C-alpha cells in the first residue's frame, strides 16, 4: 500500500463519515458543518487525482461561499432542532427508500464495472496534474458554448433576484 492509497482511504473515509453525519445530526448547523467537512475531504480526493484546480474551486465555491450562505440562512431563520416525524422527510419515507436503493444499485454497478477495468488502469502511470492554463484553454475553445451558456444562466438568476427584491418599485430604496 503506497502513500496515495493511504491518503485515499483517509479522505474517502472522512467524506463518508461527513456525509452520514449530514443526515444524522438533529441540528441544521451541525449538518451544515458536516457537509463542509465532506466537501473538504472531496477536495483532498481531487488533489490525489491531480486535479488541483478543481480541488481549489471546490473549497472556494462550496466550502467557502455556498456553505457560508447556508449557515447565514439557518441563523437568520433561527431553525431549531428538527424532528423526523414532523418534517416532510418523515412523510416521504417510502419515496426516499426507493430512490436510495436505485442510487445504491447504480453505485454497485459502476463499482463492479470499475473492478474489471482496474487491471488495465493500474498498469498506466498517473497522469500529469492538469494545469490551470490547460483548463482555461479548454474553457475558451472546446467547451466555449457550455461555458457561455452557464454564465448566461447565472446572469439570468442574478437578474431574477434583483427583480424579486425590487418588486415594490424604485422609490423603496
Q: Which residues bind other proteins (CB under 8 A)?
A: 2-4, 29, 33, 36, 48, 52-53, 55-57, 59-60, 63-65, 68-69, 71-72, 75-76, 125-126, 129, 131-133, 171, 173
- Rounded to a whole number of angstroms, the minimum distance from the CB of residue 130 to other proteins is 10
- Rounded to a whole number of angstroms, the minimum distance from the CB of residue 30 to other proteins is 8
Give ∠ CA 155-159-161 in degrees, rounded to 5: 115
What are the grid coordinates assigned to 93, written together?
419515507
Between 87 and 131, CB nearer to other proteins: 131
Between 88 and 165, CB nearer to other proteins: 165
What are the grid coordinates assigned to 52, written together?
488541483
- Rounded to a whole number of angstroms, the minimum distance from the CB of residue 23 to other proteins is 19
SS3 129: coil
- Please tell me the distance from the alpha carbon of residue 126 to that of residue 122, in angstroms, as a whole number: 9
- Rounded to a whole number of angstroms, the minimum distance from the CB of residue 133 to other proteins is 7
- Please tell me the distance from the alpha carbon of residue 39 to that of residue 55, in angstroms, as a whole number: 9
Between 14 and 71, CB nearer to other proteins: 71
HSE-CB for 98 with a 13 A CA cutoff: 4
Between 20 and 101, CB nearer to other proteins: 20
What are the grid coordinates assigned to 46, written together?
481531487
Amino acid at each position: 500500500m503506497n502513500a496515495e492509497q493511504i491518503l485515499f482511504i483517509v479522505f474517502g473515509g472522512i467524506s463518508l463519515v461527513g456525509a452520514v453525519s449530514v443526515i444524522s445530526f438533529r441540528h441544521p448547523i451541525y449538518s451544515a458543518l458536516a457537509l463542509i467537512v465532506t466537501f473538504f475531504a472531496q477536495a483532498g480526493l481531487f488533489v490525489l487525482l491531480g486535479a488541483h484546480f478543481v480541488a481549489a474551486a471546490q473549497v472556494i465555491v462550496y466550502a467557502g461561499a455556498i456553505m457560508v450562505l447556508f449557515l447565514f440562512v439557518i441563523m437568520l431563520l433561527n431553525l431549531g432542532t428538527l424532528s423526523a416525524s414532523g418534517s416532510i422527510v418523515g412523510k416521504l419515507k417510502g419515496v426516499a427508500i426507493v430512490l436510495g436503493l436505485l442510487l445504491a444499485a447504480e453505485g454497485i454497478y459502476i463499482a463492479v464495472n470499475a473492478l474489471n477495468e482496474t487491471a488495465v488502469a493500474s498498469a498506466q502511470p498517473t497522469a500529469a496534474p492538469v494545469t490551470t492554463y490547460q483548463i482555461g484553454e479548454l474553457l475558451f475553445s472546446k467547451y466555449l458554448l457550455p461555458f457561455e451558456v452557464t454564465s448566461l444562466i447565472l446572469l439570468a438568476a442574478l437578474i431574477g433576484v434583483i427583480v424579486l427584491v425590487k418588486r415594490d418599485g424604485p422609490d423603496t430604496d
